[in-house]
Amino acid sequence: MNMDKQMDISRLENWLWKAACSIRGPIAAPQYKDYILPLLFYKRLCDVYEDEIKKLSKEFGDVETVRELVKSDRKLVRFYIPHEYLWHQIRKMTTDLGERLTTALREIAKENPRLNDVIDVVDFNATAAGQRILDDGTLARLIEILSKYRLGLDDVEPDMLGRAYEYLLRKFIEGSGQSAGEFYTPREVAILMAHILDPEEGEEIYDPACGSGGLLIKAQLRLKEKITDIKRPPKLFGQEVNSLTFAMAKINAFIHDMVADIRIGDTIRNPRFTDGGKLKQFDKVAANPMWNQGFPPDVFESDPYNRFLSGIPPSNSTSDWGWIQHMFTSLKEGGKLVVVIDTGVVSRGSGNAGSNKEKEIRRKFIDDDFVEAVILLPENLFYNTTAPGNIIVVNKGKKREKKILLINASKEFAKGRPKNYLTEANVKKIKDAYKNWEEIEGFSKIITIDEVMRNDYNLSPSRYVATGEKEEYLPVDEALIELAEVEEEKKEIDKQLSEILKKIGFEV
């Protein structure tokens, strides 16, 4: 895939900023996404549909002939949009625009049942205190702004909707004191992960924190790059807790003609993919779950699916190893998972006196020889953090026993505004080092499990692969997490001590 030919971040953000400014006043900033995103859904569908009509016209004649053919035989297209409800038709409306737009989205959902409760959830004619929330004039201005760019399959990246959502969250929700609570996976990171995942025909691929479905899309596109004539397409599965991003994942699966089962719900508390009281298992798992998310201890201790057998993660501070254990339990024998996660996952607790819950879980995975590779990414790739992140590869079918590949890719990036990014050359260098399992001076190193043990189970690539720069101090967010873990352990010790004192007759 050419990552440079499509709409770049800067253009997308300027476009969305103008769209948001056009509705400033009638609605509060945190609600901008509730109106802009459904219209982006709608325009994306229409542009993709029009592209398909043009493609068919090369085979059957002119466009108008194809429209009539499709109207009588819906099987000619992946999805159907009645001509009167196409974007350019609604754009012509001068009266009753809100009512007409709402009707269009509901009729499209009726024609395509998979879009029920996905595209038809907003009433653009709604009122509050007796007047329209968005009057037709404001709505018309928004539609004109969103008409500036095409959103066909060749015009924008596959997960453009996810990128738009992340920008609107960061710009208009987090600024108001609310937290997005999630990271959009930059497309080049998702492409890199798809190469490492290396999907095969007919495989079942799962993302337990799928967001808008970007990693699943990239996995399918990677398979299409490998095999032009796919006989058995992959079966894709995803779960997402946020209702809006769940809707985007459904839209993305629909547009890309993916065989996808996307379900809504909290994966850690209520995994939706189960089989006979056990977790359903998949050939491959890829995810970018929320980093350093906390859950109450009972969520892990009373788990009915036996997901956390390697150890209970620290409660209310970081549940990264909770997510990884869920993915591991969801993996078939011989399967592989690829997760992008906070860098502290591979190092927290190492070198410190006493026990550490994360280190003990990490020790179990390393001793059992399931960790295949760790890749340190550059800083400032992700939207709502400047932290670098690690890609961790866990493999139940690991071929190189007792060895782990570490890649320090912290310097493999190009400067961008507002964020850094991986170039195609950067992605190629990283994926080739993984695929070829090679050591490159100042970039990658193969270590043994014995060496990891001597370093107290620290798997941070920067510890083993020097890039020639001075050693960095522990980041503040990492220090705060370690402090929270120490406080949690102190509370647990105090609780145990109190119980012992009570038993021997001392009141506390």
Query: Residue 143's closest CA among 7, 25, 19?
Result: 19
Select the more confidently predicted residue: 29 or 449: 449
Please state, for a pLDDT cut of 70, what percent of the chain lies above it.
90
Dihedral Cα 219, 196, 192, 263, nearest 10 deg: 40
Mean pLDDT, rounded, for 473-480: 54
Mean pLDDT, rounded, for 36-59: 93
Single pTM value for the model: 0.81
When the pLDDT of each residue in the chain is averaged and rounded to a whole number, the result is 88
Query: Residue 54's closest CA among 150, 135, 164?
Result: 150
Mean pLDDT, rounded, for 299-321: 89
Residue pair 346/458 in contact by the 8 Å Cβ criterion: yes
**Is residue 102's pLDDT more than 50?**
yes
**Is residue 492's pLDDT more than 90?**
no
pLDDT of residue 252: 87
Mean pLDDT, rounded, for 323-338: 98
CB neighbours of residue 228 within 10 Å: 6
pLDDT of residue 180: 41
Q: Retrieve residue 259's tokens.
A: 């065989």
**Is residue 257's pLDDT more than 50?**
yes
pLDDT of residue 480: 58
**Residue 120 pLDDT level (bands cut at 50, 70, 90):** confident
**Residue 473 pLDDT level (bands cut at 50, 70, 90):** very low
Amino acid at 482: E
CA-based max dimension of the chain: 93
**Least confident interval from 7-21, 186-200, 443-457:** 7-21
Region of 292 please: left (phi>0), alpha (psi -120 to 50) or beta.
left
pLDDT of residue 292: 87
Q: How would you class 430 by CB atoms within 10 Å of its CB: exposed for 0-12, middle for 13-18, buried for 19 or more?
A: buried
**Residue 185 pLDDT level (bands cut at 50, 70, 90):** confident
Distance (Å, whole) CA 406 – CA 458: 11
- Phi, psi (rounded to 5 degrees) for 482: -65, -35
**Residue 177 pLDDT level (bands cut at 50, 70, 90):** very low
Select the more confidently predicted residue: 426 or 179: 426
Q: Write the pLDDT tens digit of every residue in 78-91.
A: 899 999 999 999 99
Mean pLDDT, rounded, for 223-231: 91
Q: Retrieve residue 198's tokens.
A: 């290396």
pLDDT of residue 260: 93
Q: Write the pLDDT tens digit of every residue in 128-146.
A: 888 999 999 999 999 999 9
Contacts of 220 (CB under 8 A, 6+ apart): 199, 233, 234, 236, 256, 258
pLDDT of residue 406: 98
Ranges assigned E (strand) in 91-144? 127-128, 131-132
pLDDT of residue 382: 85
Residue found by looking up tokens 């269009």 in the block? 104
Strands 371-376 and 390-395: antiparallel
Residue pair 459/346 in contact by the 8 Å Cβ criterion: yes
